[in-house]
Structure formats: structure tokens, C-alpha cells
Structure 1
Amino acid sequence: MPRHYKRKTETKYKIEDLRHALEELRNKKLTLSQAVIKYHVPKTTLLKQLKQNEFKIPKKGRSAVFNKEQEIQLEKYILDCCKSFYGVTPNSLRRIAFRFAEANKLKHSFNKESQLAGKDWYYGFMSRHPSISLRIPEATSLNRITAFNAAEVNLFFEHLKTIQTKHNIPGHRIFNIDETGISTVQKNYKILAPKGLEQIAKATSGERGVPTTVVCAVSATGIYVPPMFIFKRKRMNQLLTKGGNSVIIVTVSESGWINESIFQDY
């Protein structure tokens, strides 16, 4: 949960006092030391305001570690890592922020012992960059990552277009086939339970699921092929088709996943 810090101390001067002090300084009615004593405004605040062309209400609290451009660089780095399938965790971001500040010799109050930026900085960074959110990633194999890229996809569609044009293949003869895995163990959702219990259980068909694969195929014109169910077994049993209709296809494999021979049969 993000923490909302509430300031415990307030400035000893009012904004109107700061305006009056600056006006008298610019009109040379007071010296810098006299303005500090009369209006109780810090000397550094007056000097900073005098250097600016326009009056700006001074920000309370510490100065930001990174400027706007540097935070945009951090945001871009996070998005690039996500696109490359190597996401940045909250702890990784805090470590990167510390090293980024050290490399640029920026003044910061990060923990030098743990070499991490603080949690308050992390929550503040997330609030300043609403385009980034904390998500649970889907596990993706390296084989799929290396095979699925812009060059390979473009090459596939170029070949598809060439073959379709050459043989004049109609849309009802072009099929998209995909598979999905179904576990025999249901996914648990959050439940209401008494406070103080160290462990809460919920009944399922098993603690470790057995994979079952379902293969589906649909043509470009909306025609579908009956689905095929692949159960994890060595031998086929007709009881596996019990409760199903007459058009579904049922088969078995040792792993529960599809293989080359089953694909050809389908």
C-alpha cells in the first residue's frame, strides 16, 4: 500500500511575507540581512527567488533527487525492459535508482548500506508515472520469445500471401490452430476466514494438477473444427469420452501435451 506522508512542521514565514521581502529587496529598501530579520524568511530562499524572473511558491520538503528528464530516462528503461521480456521489480528499480544517482553524483538520502532507494521514493515515482503499474507477468519460454518477433511474423505473412495468391486459396481453407492447457486443480480465490489463522485451506481435486490440452481450429470465414482433448495417459480409455458429444476428438499422450504425430492426426 502506498504511504501518504503528512508534513509535521510548517514554514516559519508566510507567502505574503516572502512577497514583501522580495519587493523591498528589489526596490533596495532593505538589505538581504535586514529582510531576513524583518520577515523571518531564510536567506537561501530569498537568494533563490531573486535569481528567478517570476515569483514561484517554494516547494516544501527535500529537493527531488532526479530532475524530470532523468525520471523520464528511468521510465523509458522500465518500459524497454518490459518489452524485452525482462521486467523490473520494485526492489530492482530501487537499486537502479541508487546506482543512477551515484553515477551522476547527485545529492540523495538513499541507504548506502543496502544500496537501495527508499520505499517512499518508489511510491512517489509510481504516482508521478501513471503509465507504469505493478503487474503479475505471464511466464513465457525463451523459445517463444526468440521465435515471436517482428521479423519472423512479417516473414510468415509474406509467405502466406505468396502461397495464397499462387494457389488461389479461399478463406474457408485457411485455419488458425491454437492449444491451451487446463489443470485439474481449480484456481483458488480469496475467501473470508477467521483472523489469526496461520494457514487457511480450501478443498480441491488435488494439490498438484495434471495437464490436459485442448486444441481448437477456426477458419478465416468462421468455420470451426471440433476440439481435441489430450489427456495425460499412456493408454486410451473410452471412459474419457463419457459426457462428451459425438464430434469431439479425444486422445492421450504421456506428457498431456500435443506432439507431431497427434497434430498430424488432428
Structure 2
Amino acid sequence: MGRKYKRKTDKQRDPTVFENALMEVKEKGASVRVAAALPIVDQTFRLASYSVRQVLTPNKDSSKLFHGLSTNTTKRLAYEYAVANKFSVPESWARDESAGRDWLTGFLERQGDLSLRTPEATSLARMTSFNRTNLCIFQTKLEGVLQRYQLSESCIYNLDETGCTTVQKVSKIITQKGVHQVGQVTSRERGELVTMVGIICANGNALPPCFIFPRVRFDEAWMMNGVPPACMFIPAGG
């Protein structure tokens, strides 16, 4: 079965069915319940409704709780939920004890606002500390410091660091099948991690980035070649 099914006929899509039901309500004074119970309307809805085979209902709270589900976990959960509720499932589900790729693709398309993304690794300590109580304490103390010292936006800075490797990541290449090992030329096989520090002010101004190298001595002539103006270089042992 293809994952991009295209309807080949307009069967059960006759717009006159709903127009006649609307006429029953407006001109004849029938209630919406009575119009929906008309034989042709009821048959159209029963044949065109696929929600009776819906396995999982939309639930997007797991990713917000830092416990998002992978594709394999989602497919296994769909199968277990269907078995627990005695839903009819394809034979491939029972054989693999998991939903298929077609179901997962259709599930993501039906929701519309779901997508596959690579999550950022977050420690348990950081996740548990990010709550309403701690945020209120932080905001209260911050407001007290700002009022006590009469600090403006130009006096507030935020700093964050990130790691930059000195070896470029190789991209996928086309090679012959059956080759067990494929190589690609780089500057080094294993590079060193250089820390880049970014500092930005609350008023929108930003300071030049600062690079921290894991060495005591270094040559600024080649390390400053091609970098943005006014960048700072600091040795880790300095």
C-alpha cells in the first residue's frame, strides 16, 4: 500500500447530499439531528468516516515533559493500545508487534502540527529545576536587585557557550556497494573542542565572540586568520 494514496473517484462526495440536508433545516424547519439522520446523509457519513479505526488520539504533552516518543516507540505504543482495546489491526502489526510505517506516516499527516525533530539533550537536574516555583523566586530576586541598584537594560548581559570542533564533519558520499570501510580526507581524524562564548546585552547590543583554546600557548597570527573583527582569543591555561 502506498503512503500517498490518491482518490480515484468522487464516490460519496456528492455535494447535493449536504445541500438537501441544509434545505431540510432552513426551509422545512427540521432539526439538525433529524436532517443528519436522513438515510442518504447517514450512509454518507458512515462510509466516509474513518475515525472508527483511529488508534491513538492526539497527545502532544510527552515532548513538552522532555519525554518525547521516538518513531519505534510510537509504533509499538499504537499496537499495544490497539490490542488492549480489542481493535482490529493488520496482520503485519500482530507479526511485528508494532504498527507499520504507513500508519506512522498517516498519523503525522493527519495531525498536521507534528513533525520529527532532533531533541536537545537536557539533564534531569535542569529539567526538574525549570518549574513555576523556581521561576517565581528568580523573578522576585531579579526585580529586587534591579530596583535596589537602579539598573537599566544596558547593564544586563547574558552569556552562553558552545563547543566548536576543529575538524569538519564529513558529508555522505557516493561509493561502490560492498565496501566495508569508506574514508574521506579531513584536516585531522579527531579534532579538539574550542569553546566559543557569546555575550549579548538586554538592550540588543552584542559583544564580539570570545574563543577559548585548550592550550597554554598559541599563535595569534594563524588563529585570528579569517575570524570576525574584534574577536578575543584566550588560552585555557591563561
SS in 1 for 2:72: helix
The residue number in structure 2 matching 1:237 is 217
Relative distance call for 1:221 and 1:241 in structure 2 (3 A) is farther
- TM-aligned CA distance change 1:243 to 1:231, over 3 Å: closer
Amino acid at match of 1:65: R
Residues 1:169 and 1:200: Cα distance change in structure 2 (over 3 Å): same
Distance 1:187 1:54, change over 3 A: farther
Structure 1 pair 176/246, CA: closer, same or farther in 2 (3 Å)? closer
The one-letter code matched in structure 2 to 1:187 is K
What SS does the aligned partner of 1:112 have? helix
Which segment is superposed worse, 129-138 or 224-233? 224-233
In 2: Cα distance, 1:202 partner to 1:194 partner: 11
CA RMSD for the aligned pairs?
A: 3.5
Q: 1:30-179 maps to which residues of 2 (within 5 A)?
A: 52-55=37-40, 56-57=43-44, 59=47, 64-66=52-54, 71-72=56-57, 75-76=58-59, 79-109=60-90, 111-179=93-161
Query: Which residue does the alignment assign to 1:185?
Result: 167
CA spacing shift, 1:200–1:52, aligned 2, 3 Å: farther
Please report how far the alpha carbon of residue 6 of structure 1 lies from its aligned counterpart in structure 2 after TM superposition.
7.6
Secondary structure at the residue paired with 2:96? coil
CA distance in 2, matches of 1:52, 1:84: 43
The normalised TM-score by structure 1 is 0.62
Query: What is the CA distance between 1:223 and its match in structure 2?
Result: 4.5
Which of the two has higher C-alpha Rg? 1
For the Cα contact (< 8 Å) 2:213–2:233, is it kept in 1?
no
1:250 and 2:234 are equivalent in the alignment? yes
Post-superposition CA distance 1:8-43 (Å, at most 9, x none)? xx9xxx97xxxxxxxxxxxxxxxxxxxxxxxxxxxx
* TM-superposition CA deviations, 1:212-251 (whole Å, max 9, x none): 1111222223454453322223xx1042564437761412
The offset of 1:114, in angstroms, is 3.1
1-structure distance, mates of 2:80, 2:233: 57
Residue in 1 that maps onto 2:3: 3
Task: For residue 200 of structure 1, report the CA deviation from its aligned partner.
Answer: 4.5
Cα distance in 2 between the residues matched to 1:172 and 1:129: 44
Residue 143 of structure 2 aligns to a residue whose secondary structure is helix
Equivalent in the alignment of 1:41:
none
Q: Which moved more, 1:224-233 or 1:90-99?
A: 224-233
Shift of 1:64: 4.8
Question: Would the alpha carbon gap of residues 127 and 195 (structure 1) be closer, same or farther in structure 2, given more than 3 Å must change?
Answer: farther
Q: How many residues are aligned here? A: 204
Q: Share of identical aligned residues, percent?
A: 33
Q: 1:63 to 1:181 in 2, by over 3 A?
A: closer
Query: Cα offset for 1:131?
Result: 1.0
Query: What SS does structure 2 have at the residue aligned with 1:93?
Result: helix
Q: Are the equivalent residues in 2 in contact too, given 1:241–1:250 (CA < 8 A)?
A: no
